[in-house]
Structure 1
Amino acid sequence: MVNLTWLQTYVTLVETGHFTQTANKLAMTQPGVSQHVRKLEQHYKQPLLNRIGKGFELTQAGHRVYQQAQRTLGELAGLEQQLSTDDPFNGPVRIASPGSLGLELYPLLLNLQSKHPKLSIEYSFAPNTGVERDLVARKLDLGLVTRLGERPDLAYQPFGEEALCLVTPATVPEPTWDSLMTLGYIDHPDGPHQANLLLGANYPEYQQLSQFIKRGFCNHISLILEPVAQGLGFAVLPKFAVSSFAKQEAIRVHGLPNPIAEPIYLAQRRHQALPTRLQSIISEIASALGQIEASSN
């Protein structure tokens, strides 16, 4: 039987990509990390890493061992959690999503925690790639993303959708092509993707975002509409980010002939055993998203 400590060291090494960082993270020495890798190679009777200078790449066998080690350690961690506490409203819940979703869901989960104080909600705001990365690194229990990823070590489940909105200053009565060209565009990290989806489906003139004058950029989800409210440009944002903006009287959300919504996916580690409290959180979020969609129709 392979030593689980060797497997944990190996998984951490692969995920950090650095021997020194692995040693620091696991409170080991760097030679100790190398020794665990050698032990695994001796156990499986083949090399797992190709050393390249101070770095390395995985061999084919190394990839297979890493994938199996992830599953094994994840299942054991899940079992340990379930055995230690299987209360549906007791224990930590680490979850992350892109910012707009977080603005809607984090207050709902805090309300749930206020009813069940033994819950500990740890909510992170991150782009899709960051959510996936932290899930793989076991820094999260659950993630919500707005595109179907391609990580083989993660499982994705359709979970809902969030409408995209065209937002202008309140002084703009109709979002004609000419008025948008005159206004210019307020950019944000997901802006190009979301603008391509919504504008491409509704304006025959639209080819790419660079057709508009870029009036500014903001990466803080709660402040992206601030320059729009001040008349400096238009933006394309998900509905939850728009509805949470404080200065609703200063902006106008326009209905378009072809509504577009971004899908929402629940992401988790493949073969991850979910304790009851995580299943409860999933049910709560699904219910909340379902009620929001129903009220929007």
Structure 2
Amino acid sequence: MVNPVWLKTFCTLVDVGSFTKAADKCFMTQSGVSQHVRKLEDALSTTLLIRSKKGIVTTEAGEQLYRQGKDVLQTLDNLAVNISQDPGYEGEVRLMSPGSVGLRLYPHLLDLQVTYPTLTINYRFAPNGDIHNAILNNTIDIGLTTACPVNPNIQSEPIGEEPLLLVTPRHVKSPTWETLCQLGFIDHPDARHHAELLLGANFEQYQTAQLRPIKQSGFSNQIGLILLPVARGLGFTVLPANAVAAFAQQAAIKAHHLPTPVSETLYLSSLAGRVLPQRAINISNVIKEQVSDSIGMHT
């Protein structure tokens, strides 16, 4: 491997044509310049310069090293400049969130990417536990969760709250416990947790139902499809407000605001101690703005 310091001294010497001028430009002594050239020649096992009273002449090997060495030094200079820069809207931002908030946020982030084509949004939907693990493994920059991280290696802040809604087919005007039992439950990865929060706060029969659970009428792990069986009259479910608002067939479902409202807090998280790149900081700020402006969410 060629020592870049020796290479820079050599290329400077060839540029200026004398050891005296090279020493001045490199802030070295003439003997220091000569030593660098000699070390370079020893490392490459070849003669690079012919020294004469009239100056220096590069050998064939020296000329080749000079041409290629200048390119290498320019690349190293560019690398240093690029690393020191931290553009606000260039490069990749990796983030994960539950599907509900993702349905609202992702289109806005894509709008931002259209405005800044050198920005890349890498967005994945996942449950809270997977998001926490991804933060700890440093495979994402930003994580949005509805569960406050307990691991001290994750730093987080609450940025909003999203209501949970009971969703039934359109014909159900005022849901009773008997009606829900007749319909059956459309399950999804977070459904049991959501049901415990919302139904547990609004139906006394829910605790007893844990001994004799409501029948399951269906299951989907795709956030955009969970309400499809509900729209077909096959059951009911509990979902965050943003997931309900994003469903295309609004005329076929009815979202119920129950007497005791229940909301989930949304947390913006990242790896503790990690300094996020400016692009990730900017995306975090955009997310906070969108969450505060989104339907059914407030800060």
- Answer yes or no: is the 8 Å Cα contact 1:89–1:116 preserved in 2: yes
Residue 266, structure 1, aligned to residue 268, structure 2: yes
Q: In the alignment, residue 214 of structure 1 is paired with which amino acid? A: Q
Shift of residue 125, structure 1, vs aligned partner? 0.8
* Aligned partner of 2:218 among 197, 216, 233: 216
Shift of residue 195, structure 1, vs aligned partner? 0.4
Q: In the alignment, residue 244 of structure 2 is paired with which amino acid? A: V
Q: Cα deviations across residues 95-137 of structure 1 (Å, max 9, x unaligned)?
A: 0111111111111100111111121100011111111111111
Residue 255, structure 1, aligned to residue 257, structure 2: yes
User: Secondary structure at the residue paired with 2:206?
Assistant: coil
User: Secondary structure at the residue paired with 2:122?
Assistant: strand
Shift of residue 150, structure 1, vs aligned partner? 1.7
CA RMSD of aligned residues (A): 2.1
Distance in 1 between residues matched to 2:292 and 2:230, nearest whole Å: 30
Q: In the alignment, residue 131 of structure 2 is paired with which amino acid? A: V
TM-score normalised per structure 2: 0.69
Larger-Rg structure:
2
Distance 1:151 1:204, change over 3 A: same
Q: Is there any run of 5+ residues in structure 2 with no aligned partner, and where? A: 1-79
Shift of residue 261, structure 1, vs aligned partner? 0.8
Q: Is there any run of 5+ residues in structure 1 with no aligned partner, and where? A: 1-79
Q: In the alignment, residue 235 of structure 2 is paired with which amino acid? A: G
Structure 1 segment 94-133 matched on structure 2, within 5 A: 94-133=94-133
User: Secondary structure at the residue paired with 2:95?
Assistant: strand
- Answer yes or no: is the 8 Å Cα contact 2:163–2:297 preserved in 1: no
Q: In the alignment, residue 224 of structure 1 is paired with which amino acid? A: I
Aligned to 2:229: 227
Shift of residue 288, structure 1, vs aligned partner? 0.6
Distance in 1 between residues matched to 2:81 and 2:187, nearest whole Å: 42
- Answer yes or no: is the 8 Å Cα contact 1:85–1:91 preserved in 2: no
Structure 1 segment 285-296 matched on structure 2, within 5 A: 285-292=287-294
- Answer yes or no: is the 8 Å Cα contact 1:82–1:276 preserved in 2: no
Q: Cα deviations across residues 9-51 of structure 1 (Å, max 9, x unaligned)?
A: xxxxxxxxxxxxxxxxxxxxxxxxxxxxxxxxxxxxxxxxxxx
Distance in 2 between residues matched to 1:133 and 1:229, nearest whole Å: 35
Aligned to 1:168: 168
Distance in 1 between residues matched to 2:180 and 2:248, nearest whole Å: 23
For these two proteins, the number of residue pairs brought into alignment is 218
Aligned to 2:198: 198
Q: In the alignment, residue 181 of structure 1 is paired with which amino acid? A: C
Aligned to 1:281: 283
User: Secondary structure at the residue paired with 1:263?
Assistant: strand
Distance in 1 between residues matched to 2:81 and 2:151, nearest whole Å: 25
Distance in 1 between residues matched to 2:93 and 2:229, nearest whole Å: 35
Shift of residue 152, structure 1, vs aligned partner? 2.5
- Answer yes or no: is the 8 Å Cα contact 2:231–2:249 preserved in 1: yes
Q: In the alignment, residue 151 of structure 2 is paired with which amino acid? A: R
User: Secondary structure at the residue paired with 2:162?
Assistant: strand
Moved more, 152-161 or 165-174: 152-161
TM-score normalised per structure 1: 0.69
